[in-house]
Amino acid sequence: MKKELAWPQFITNFMIMVVGSRNRSQLKRPTWIILLIFIICIFLIAVYMYPPQSTSMCSLFSSKGCGSSTSTSTTFDLLTPEFSRPLNEQEIQSRIVINEILKFYPVQSKIPKIAFLFLTPGSLPFEKLWHMFFQGHEGKFSVYVHASKEKPVHASHYFVGRDIHSEPVEWGRISMVEAERRLLASALLDPDNEHFVLLSESCIPVRRFDFVYNYLLLTNVSFIDSYVDPGPHGNGRYIEHMLPEVEKKDFRKGSQWLTMKRQHAIIIMADSLYFRKFKYYCRPNMEGNRNCYADEHYLPTIFTMLDPGGIAKWSVTYVDWSERKWHPKSFRASDITYQLMKKIAYIDESLHFISDAKGSVEITPCALNGFKRSCYLFARKFYPETQDKLMKLFSNSTIF
C-alpha cells in the first residue's frame, strides 16, 4: 500500500518544487542549473524505485506497457478446471515447461530461414531437383541429412557437409521418432531457423521456393496432421498402459511428414514424459496382437493435448492412400504429367482414410483464419526414375 501511495505523492511534491521554483528568480544561474539536475536525478530514481501502475502512466514511459508480452499460442492455466482429472507431479512439471515455451516468442532474425530435414537410408535420389528448388535463395534455408544406413554421395553443393550424426532406423519403431528429434536438435542450433520441414528420400517439391517460404513463415502454426481414426488402425492401437498421461480420447493419428515452428520443435526436445509413453507402449507386436507405430501417433497426439490451436490439422506433403494398402501409391516416370502435378498443387482438401468397416473418408478443408488455401507444398512417394521428367516440368512450367 505504501508503494502505491509513494508514486502519486512524489509527483505532487515534484510539481510543487517546479512551480514554486518559478518564483525564485533570486537564485543565481549556476545554482538553478544544479538544482534542476538534482530534481531530474530524483525523478529518475523514483521511477526506478516506484514503477507506475496505471496504464496511462505505463504508456508514457514504455510503448509495451507494464505487462510482459506473450505469444498468441495456447497456454495452460493449471489452476482452472480444464483437465478431467488431477495431474500427477510429472505432468505438472512437464506442462509448466511447455507453457513457458509457448509463451516465449523467439526473436525474429532479419532473414528467417526454413530448415529442410531429410530422413533417408542413404543417398538422396532427387538432389538435382532439390538443387533447382534451392538455387537463388541462399541465406533463406538450411539443409540437414540423417542417413540411417550408408553415407550419402551428394550431387548438389547444397547438401555437401550437411550430414548429421545418424543411427539405424527401423520402420514402425521408435527409432524413427528418435531420428526426427536428432534432426530437429541439429537444426535448432541455428537461431535463424524458424520453421522446420521433415522430408523423406522420396519427397519432391510441388511449389517453387518463394511460395513455400511465404506459405510457412507467414503463418504462426505447425502443419501437423492429426485426426481421429476410430478403427483398428487408429484408436484400436491404443493401449491402457499409456494412462494416466495419455487418455484414449486424446489419441490421434497422422502423417509423420510435417512442418513445425520453432516453439514446437523446442517442445519436442524438452519432452521426455510423453515420449517415454510412446516409446514403451506404442510399438509393433504389443499385447493383443496390436501394432502401434509411434511416428504416426506421438506428435499428432501430444500437440492435440498441449497446443491444439497451434497446429493446422493437415500435412503439407501429399501422399495417395486411395488404394488402402499398407503403403501409399508410388509414382513412376510414366505417371508424371503436367496434369498430375497441377492436380496435386491445387488440391484444397485433405483426405483421411478411416480404417473402419465402412471404409469412411474424412475430408478436412485446408483453411486458416476462415480462408481456404492449397494444401500441399511437397509430395511423395516418387521413384528415382521420375527425376528427369520432374526437372523438365519444374524448369518450364508455371504450376509450381
Q: How far apart are CA 120 and CA 202, in angstroms?
A: 9
What does the pLDDT look like over 306-320, one tens digit per residue? Answer: 999 999 999 999 999
For residue 264, give the amino acid letter: H
Crossing angle of helices 262-270 and 89-103, rounded to 10°? 160
Residue 249: pLDDT over 70: yes
Instruction: For the chain, give every domain's residue range.
Output: 89-315
Which cell goes with 326?
499398407
Q: For 364, phi and psi rounded to 5 degrees?
A: -115, 115
Nearest CA to 338 among 283, 272, 389, 264? 389
Residue 240: pLDDT over 80: yes
From start to end of 10-132, where are the E strands? Answer: 113-120
Give the per-residue pLDDT at 40: 63
- How high does pLDDT run on average in the chain? 82
Which cell goes with 126?
532427387
**Candidates 2.60.40, 1.10.4100, 1.10.1760, 3.90.550; CATH matching 89-315:** 3.90.550
Name the pLDDT band for 86 (thresholds 50, 70, 90). confident
What does the pLDDT look like over 292-341, one tens digit per residue? Answer: 999 999 999 999 999 999 999 999 999 999 888 878 999 999 999 999 99
Give the per-residue pLDDT at 88: 72
From start to end of the chain, where are the E strands? Answer: 113-120, 141-147, 193-200, 204-205, 222-223, 259-261, 311-312, 317-318, 349-353, 361-365, 367-368, 371-372, 378-379
How large is the average pLDDT for residues 196-208?
A: 97
Long-range contacts of range 353-362, CB-CB < 8 Å, 24 or more positions apart? 353/321, 353/322, 353/324, 354/229, 354/230, 354/231, 354/234, 355/229, 355/231, 355/232, 355/233, 355/234, 355/236, 356/229, 356/230, 356/231, 357/231, 359/324, 362/227
For residue 305, give the amino acid letter: M
Residue 52: pLDDT over 50: no
In a 3-state reduction of DSSP, which class is residue 244? Answer: coil
**Full-model pTM:** 0.76
